[in-house]
Structure 1
Amino acid sequence: MFFAAACSAHAQQAALPEVVVNEGATAPQADVSGFGDVPLRELPLSATVIDSKQLIGSGARRLADLTQFDSSVTDAYNSAGYWDYLTVRGFVLDNRFNYRREGLPISAETSIPLDNKERVEILRGTSGIQAGTSAPGGLVNYVVKRPTERDLRTVRIETTSRGSVLGALDLGGRFGENRQFGYRLNIASENLKPLTHNLDGNRNMFSLAADWRITRDSVLEFEVEQSRKTQPSQNGYSLLGGVLPAPVDPRINLNNQPWSQPSVFKALTGTVRFSQALNADWRWSAQIGQQRLKTDDRLAYAFGCGAEGNYDRYCSDGTFDVYDFRSENERRTQTAGSLNLKGNVMTGSVRHELGFGLLQSRVRNRFQDQAYNYAGTGNIWATAMVPPSPDAITPQTNRDERSTELSVQDAIRWNDRFTIWLGARHTRLDRSSIGNDGSDPTGYKQGVTTPWIAASYAIQAGLLAYASWGKGVESQIVPNRGDQYDNAGQALPALKSRQWELGIKGGNDAFNWQLAWFDISRPMTNLDACNRLGITPCEAKYDGRAVHRGLEAGAQWTQGPWRIGGSMTLMDAKRRGSIVEPASNGQWPTNVPKQVLRAQAAYRVPSVPGLEVAGQLSHEGRRNVLADGSITLPSWTRVDAVLRYDTKLRGVNTSWTLAVDNLFDRRYWKESPYQFGHVYLFPGAPRTLRLGLSIAL
């Protein structure tokens, strides 16, 4: 509260921006940028904002479903019944550090529902000024639905060709003598029946958001979300020896053992935020949030081929080793609080838009012994049954982390056209870990600073050119395995990535577009290579860099009955400077397509008011399955189709949706992640029908 004490007197014209959310409204700003008050089209960076209307219209249930909206975002081990991984600009986001909710850090090592999200923001590129530590690909921020100004009463029902059924309720509005109190209630329940055999499950979600406009200058906001999802999972297929198999039937379930149990994800998350305008130019806010996760992670885990001595793929004859994996009662708790001060200062004719922030967070992860036991031999036809081996005898590692982040930013507007953007974040880390049996304690403290600078120039109204340079940082500790690493348990120097970006964006309400070129350089370590190649002894250290360069283009056009949009990414990604594996230098990273195209088109039929026909095309180019490029995954293209009809039944607004995903029922390998030291192949989903009805009461 020291900001308020320092500036207690505020002018009569002081007021906070109204907390008003209208369902389906566009989201011209992105909080994930760090400059949430500035429209996205005026910022010198690249980001995608997917609003609630797009989330509902696409039938999205999970983060992995959102790759269709951005050509720079692709899958990275997205399995049914498990949590999501994303790749942005060729780098896999870290589920521990690259995710935010209402601007506060959260863990994405869980299932996160979208039913109560107003929008999902995806920042592309290094995120050093937005996050203390994070992988360089980007940052994801979930923004929850807030109270609406007008009363909202919406019921939504959806079903699929397999028999999944979703029921959702969305209520919002304001009340009180001066309508100073607002609320938003979201409830969802779904019976999950994917096309993959024997992966049925269910999920439930309840959320409540409320606010109190205490005065014209003061707003108190609150929200809480509780969710539960239970569903069996399965890992992907793999190479058969040294052969890439033809795409398999995606309905086959490799986790079909009689003793297989579903994974269970429970989450309770909430935030409280107070905002105060000090005068016409300055305001401060304080926010605190907590996330509590409980997970039971279970799987009949297909991993490697001991018979042939290959532990990163399946056997040549289609068999594989099966492990009984059970990690019960995983508990992850993250608590974060922030103070922010924002305002404007004039120095002569130059305007400074300043921001100061203090963020503190604490992570506490606790695990029990897990089962990871060899159970027998399975096969890709899912016909082999093996006995269970559920004894939890493998210790795990408990983790604690405290971080304090100080940030400052300044948008220096020299005139109506030219702006210099400056930002810096200093982070103090205190991390420790210890085996849940008390063994192998490690810990370290580290301080890192990540700067960012950009310049933008408005060539004319609706046309902006910009250039930026910034750093991101990752912090890594050597595994505490003295039998393999000479410096086991020690912290490596901070891994600092850097990014250059040049871009130009423009347009108006009918047509907008953006073109951006990026160059990201990320330090690499030899940890993965030492483990994978069995190098002993190994001194863990830097081992070259990953350099990703690319060109992104996107546009949206609306004219009369037509809506057309799309994006394209062309990328050159290479490993450079490796000493441990010199053969990898110049090679393309695994599971990163060389080009990606997303396109959407919609047409409102003039002769039938309320009727719209829409289509979606996704294309991803070839990608490496193995690091040496000896096996690659072919490119693939998928087409989806949607028919929407908005009408009134007995005076009630209703919206019907009939969608067909994978319209031509193409069979293809969708992605090839190298995950957990293993090559995996995930098939694309078969043709799926979805019917939805939304009623606005």
Structure 2
Amino acid sequence: MEKTSTRTSRRKRAALAAASLGLSVVVMPGAVHAQAAASQSSSDLAGKDAAVQAADVPAAADTPNSAAGSTAPASGASTATATRRAQAAAAGQSGSGAANGIPMTVNVVSRSSIDQQQPTDSYEALRGAAGISSSAGASVADNVSIRGIALEGRTSFRLNGALPINNFLAMPLEDKQAEEALKGAAALLFGIASPSGIVNLVTKRAGDTPNASIGISGTTNGEIVGSVDVGRRFGPDNQFGLRVNAAGGHLSSTIDDVEGSRNFVGVAADWRPTNRLSFKLDFEDYERRITEQSTIGLLSPVNGKITLPAVPNPNRLLSGDWAAYKARAQNILLRTDYKITDDWRVLAEAGRAETIRDTRDLSTLMNYDPITGQGTLVTKLVRDQDYVNKYARVEANGKFNTGALFEHHLTFGVMYNDRYQNNPSVQSVSTPQNLFNPVTLPAPVRTQPIVELPQDSKDTGVYIYDAVTFAKRLTVIGGMRRTDYSLTAQQAKGPSTHFQTTNYSPAIGVTFLLRPDTSLYASYMTGLQETGLAPSTAVNAFQTLPPSVAKQKEVGIRSSALFGFNGTLAYFDIDRGTAQLNDQNVFVTDGRSTYRGVEASFGGEVNRAWTFNLAGQYLHARTSGASNPALSDTRPENTPNFTLSISVTYHPSILPGSSLSAGMFRTGGQAVNNANQAFIPAYTVYTLGAGYTTRIAGHRTTLALNVNNLANDRHFSAAGNGLLIVGPARSIRFSARTDF
């Protein structure tokens, strides 16, 4: 332990020196020539919906970074006079089919915003949008909730609007052109998916201009990661494109003695043999080894109430430096597009995503004294978990007219998903530990044999939808999806379980263009969602529950009429099955939950120097119909009643190429369980950032420095599944990138 601490201390000192050097370049530009600013703030996010685009913006499928496959018109939530920057975000960064005529909200985080903010996961990247919250706090994966609903790790994260990737390992962002939060219409587009939305990751592709860059990023806690990005087009008429990204280095954390490593390589290739035929290939391979912090278990209720402990020091490691999390993932996606005529095209794509978690020592501090902190650390020794997603889709879409006033954009296709997983039996080891004064613990040893517990679910979806535009002002979309679903799961005790169902999911949406810069929209959609993966604390740990029907309604308005700022206001109503632990500690679907809320965003450029973004959501969520009356008419666990974010960026004219940014992200109180026996209080995280773009030795160089949790506020960031999650302490991140 002492050797590890000494090593960590040395790395922290080295990282602090590197950060100080970077900061000196940011604030002392005399040694170099300043260039035009290139960084953007988090206001790029909610104010630049991919759905906010002009009617003459090219379809997303025509852009090099898009995975959309539709030639349909701009989204029903569109604005015909959107700003040029919003149009660029819509046309060049949306990989989701946001331009397919469906009224939906798409919040886009641009590549420049990712470079400037240096987010550590999807939640940090997206938290500037309305209704985004953390589902599990700092962890080994990307934990995001949209509109109060935690996204599911097997179906809610997509690569290029297509392949469902496994969110059980922090996903790399080095090869991503943009990250999107798609709210609402996930079921019609993707089949089995959360009714609140999905997160879509859009990969970089080679452009007509060659690119090459090297970068380094790290923290003052000793983390150092290097990266390289090279893209070229070649061959006759530049018909071949290749983009390669790679990264690797040492990981560290604000938590003492938490260290590890990561490696990543991503390849995006494309071939355009003719102006009608194109092929795309995306490949990612990444691995991560890191020490995993312990969670905190809930105490048993007394007279219907649970006592919460004081928030422990977030820098102290409760488990041990032996608490290994070792995982690797590989994603591959192949797609071909053929333009039959100027108005009709067909696409076919197939992919595979696999994540293997070789080792996970997952610990929870249980039965502690809330005053002294003395309790028991229960460590679950998890080995050889394997998750495989197989995906295929064939789709045709095009446009035609009926009469002089009606324009149709028709899409139909078939999609197939196969999700296999093997979550072998786990062994628990208990050791005394103190919540407030943790001590060094010996590494637990597994002595029990591993029992394989495979599980496989399949779904085939056939879908059709038509967006009909009348007089270029009114658009009505109607669609239907048939889903055939089956599930087979091996139980730790007893025979295998089987489930099969067929579901028809209708969807309808209406958009009316009040004026060129203002539109009203409404939508109603249903679909199937897998209601969750059982937590490690459940008797049926890691089991996927059968799907249930979810319904989503939304009405809203979008406008850029007020001084050119982008504004949105929406009301939504979501009804879904409730997954929760019953009295026997079995994770089951029991009852329904409704999520009714209002969300709004407003922001844009004040002038050349100032940009801002304001986004918030009020949420009223309740459960009903549970077999236990104590779990009815209560707030669903881990669901904040509001979120609010404010971000401002300033580009000083006295220092061209520089930027200063500040942000405030507030999350409302959250119930620790569905019985509402305690609530974690609301908390606020402040951020501060600085960026500078210049030329060093003739090469464009971009520097960034960001502070997260500036006030070093101690807080519980999430609660659910019988656990409390401590929010991360203050961290300082830095990065430098040079283009060649």
TM norm structure 1: 0.87
Other-structure match for 2:415: 359
For the pair 1:100 / 2:144, whether they are aligned, the reply is: no
Question: Residue 131 of structure 2 contacts residue 146 of structure 2 at CA under 8 Å; is this kept in 1?
Answer: yes
Other-structure match for 1:563: 611
Distance 1:586 1:30, change over 3 A: farther
Question: Residue 167 of structure 1 contacts residue 189 of structure 1 at CA under 8 Å; is this kept in 2?
Answer: yes
Question: Residue 375 of structure 1 contacts residue 387 of structure 1 at CA under 8 Å; is this kept in 2?
Answer: no
State the Cα distance separating 1:362 from its structure 2 match.
Answer: 1.8
State the Cα distance separating 1:553 from its structure 2 match.
Answer: 0.4
Distance 1:89 1:457, change over 3 A: same
1:505-555 deviation digits (Å, cap 9, x = unpaired): 022895211110001122336x632434x89xxxx8753x21111110012
State the Cα distance separating 1:696 from its structure 2 match.
Answer: 1.1
Within the candidate set 333, 355, 371, 2:388 is matched to 333
Instruction: For 1:120, give the aligned amino acid.
Output: E
State the Cα distance separating 1:161 from its structure 2 match.
Answer: 1.2
Other-structure match for 1:134: 193
For the pair 1:688 / 2:734, whether they are aligned, the reply is: no
1:425-450 deviation digits (Å, cap 9, x = unpaired): 1111122122589x622223211111
Distance 1:407 1:100, change over 3 A: same
For the pair 1:507 / 2:507, whether they are aligned, the reply is: no
1:681 is paired with a residue whose SS is strand
Question: Residue 79 of structure 1 contacts residue 235 of structure 1 at CA under 8 Å; is this kept in 2?
Answer: no
Runs of 4+ with deviation above 6 angstroms: 30-34, 476-479, 489-492
Within the candidate set 95, 99, 102, 1:37 is matched to 99
For the pair 1:17 / 2:72, whether they are aligned, the reply is: no
User: How far, CA to CA, are the matches of 2:61 and 2:135 in structure 1?
Assistant: 40
User: How far, CA to CA, are the matches of 2:498 and 2:630 in structure 1?
Assistant: 34
For the pair 1:88 / 2:143, whether they are aligned, the reply is: no
CA RMSD of aligned residues (A): 3.0
State the Cα distance separating 1:280 from its structure 2 match.
Answer: 0.8
Within the candidate set 413, 427, 434, 2:490 is matched to 434
Distance 1:315 1:387, change over 3 A: farther
Within the candidate set 310, 318, 339, 2:373 is matched to 318
Distance 1:334 1:661, change over 3 A: same
For the pair 1:451 / 2:506, whether they are aligned, the reply is: yes
User: How far, CA to CA, are the matches of 1:649 and 1:694 in structure 2?
Assistant: 11
1:513 is paired with a residue whose SS is strand
For the pair 1:144 / 2:203, whether they are aligned, the reply is: yes
Other-structure match for 1:308: none
Within the candidate set 273, 280, 284, 1:221 is matched to 280
1:543-570 deviation digits (Å, cap 9, x = unpaired): 3x21111110012211221111121111
User: How far, CA to CA, are the matches of 1:462 and 1:189 in structure 2?
Assistant: 45
Within the candidate set 528, 540, 554, 2:601 is matched to 554
Within the candidate set 560, 583, 587, 2:634 is matched to 587
User: How far, CA to CA, are the matches of 1:478 and 1:377 in structure 2?
Assistant: 28
Other-structure match for 1:633: 680
Other-structure match for 1:290: 352
User: How far, CA to CA, are the matches of 2:234 and 2:509 in structure 1?
Assistant: 44
Question: Residue 284 of structure 1 contacts residue 341 of structure 1 at CA under 8 Å; is this kept in 2?
Answer: yes
Distance 1:587 1:114, change over 3 A: same
Question: Residue 67 of structure 1 contacts residue 75 of structure 1 at CA under 8 Å; is this kept in 2?
Answer: no
1:467-526 deviation digits (Å, cap 9, x = unpaired): 1111122357999xxxx99xxx9997x62121211100022895211110001122336x
Please give the residue correspondences for 1:475-624 in structure 2 after superposition, counting only pairs within 5 Å: 495-507=548-560, 510-524=564-578, 528-532=581-585, 542-543=590-591, 545-558=592-605, 559-578=607-626, 580-624=627-671
State the Cα distance separating 1:414 from its structure 2 match.
Answer: 1.5
User: How far, CA to CA, are the matches of 1:469 and 1:327 in structure 2?
Assistant: 41
User: How far, CA to CA, are the matches of 1:654 and 1:238 in structure 2?
Assistant: 46
Question: Residue 100 of structure 1 contacts residue 142 of structure 1 at CA under 8 Å; is this kept in 2?
Answer: yes
Other-structure match for 1:8: none
Question: Residue 238 of structure 1 contacts residue 314 of structure 1 at CA under 8 Å; is this kept in 2?
Answer: no
Please give the residue correspondences for 1:200-215 in structure 2 after superposition, counting only pairs within 5 Å: 200-215=259-274
2:125 is paired with a residue whose SS is helix
Other-structure match for 2:11: none
State the Cα distance separating 1:583 from its structure 2 match.
Answer: 3.0
User: How far, CA to CA, are the matches of 1:15 and 1:302 in structure 2?
Assistant: 45
State the Cα distance separating 1:367 from its structure 2 match.
Answer: 4.2
State the Cα distance separating 1:339 from its structure 2 match.
Answer: 0.6
State which drifts further: 660-669 or 193-202. Answer: 660-669
Within the candidate set 119, 122, 135, 1:60 is matched to 119
Instruction: For 2:555, give the aligned amino acid.
Output: L
State the Cα distance separating 1:622 from its structure 2 match.
Answer: 2.1
Question: Residue 521 of structure 1 contacts residue 546 of structure 1 at CA under 8 Å; is this kept in 2?
Answer: yes
Other-structure match for 1:124: 183
1:28 is paired with a residue whose SS is helix
Other-structure match for 2:713: 666
Distance 1:490 1:90, change over 3 A: closer
Distance 1:20 1:444, change over 3 A: closer
User: How far, CA to CA, are the matches of 1:236 and 1:71 in structure 2?
Assistant: 27
Distance 1:331 1:523, change over 3 A: closer
1:327 is paired with a residue whose SS is strand
For the pair 1:406 / 2:462, whether they are aligned, the reply is: yes
Higher relative contact order (CA 8 A, sep 6+): 2
1:214 is paired with a residue whose SS is coil
1:295-344 deviation digits (Å, cap 9, x = unpaired): 12422512432xxxxxxx77664233323322222222221111110100
User: How far, CA to CA, are the matches of 2:86 and 2:324 in structure 1?
Assistant: 35
Distance 1:340 1:429, change over 3 A: same
Counting aligned pairs with the same residue, the percent is: 22
Instruction: For 2:165, give the aligned amino acid.
Output: I
- Segments of structure 1 that go 5 or more residues without pairing to the other structure are 1-13, 306-312
Other-structure match for 1:423: 479
Question: Residue 372 of structure 1 contacts residue 392 of structure 1 at CA under 8 Å; is this kept in 2?
Answer: no
1:395-421 deviation digits (Å, cap 9, x = unpaired): 352012222111111111112100001
State the Cα distance separating 1:48 from its structure 2 match.
Answer: 1.1
TM norm structure 2: 0.82
Instruction: For 2:577, give the aligned amino acid.
Output: P
Question: Residue 551 of structure 1 contacts residue 569 of structure 1 at CA under 8 Å; is this kept in 2?
Answer: yes
1:335-390 deviation digits (Å, cap 9, x = unpaired): 11111101002111311101112111222223444333334555442116356241
User: How far, CA to CA, are the matches of 1:553 and 1:230 in structure 2?
Assistant: 39
Would you tell me which structure has more helix in proportion to its own residues?
2
Instruction: For 1:666, give the aligned amino acid.
Output: D
Other-structure match for 1:276: 338
Within the candidate set 300, 304, 307, 1:243 is matched to 307
Distance 1:407 1:500, change over 3 A: same
Distance 1:594 1:30, change over 3 A: farther
Question: Residue 188 of structure 1 contacts residue 206 of structure 1 at CA under 8 Å; is this kept in 2?
Answer: yes
User: How far, CA to CA, are the matches of 2:114 and 2:545 in structure 1?
Assistant: 41
Question: Residue 126 of structure 1 contacts residue 497 of structure 1 at CA under 8 Å; is this kept in 2?
Answer: no
Other-structure match for 2:219: 160
State the Cα distance separating 1:693 from its structure 2 match.
Answer: 1.2
State the Cα distance separating 1:463 from its structure 2 match.
Answer: 0.5
Instruction: For 2:702, give the aligned amino acid.
Output: S
Distance 1:114 1:33, change over 3 A: closer
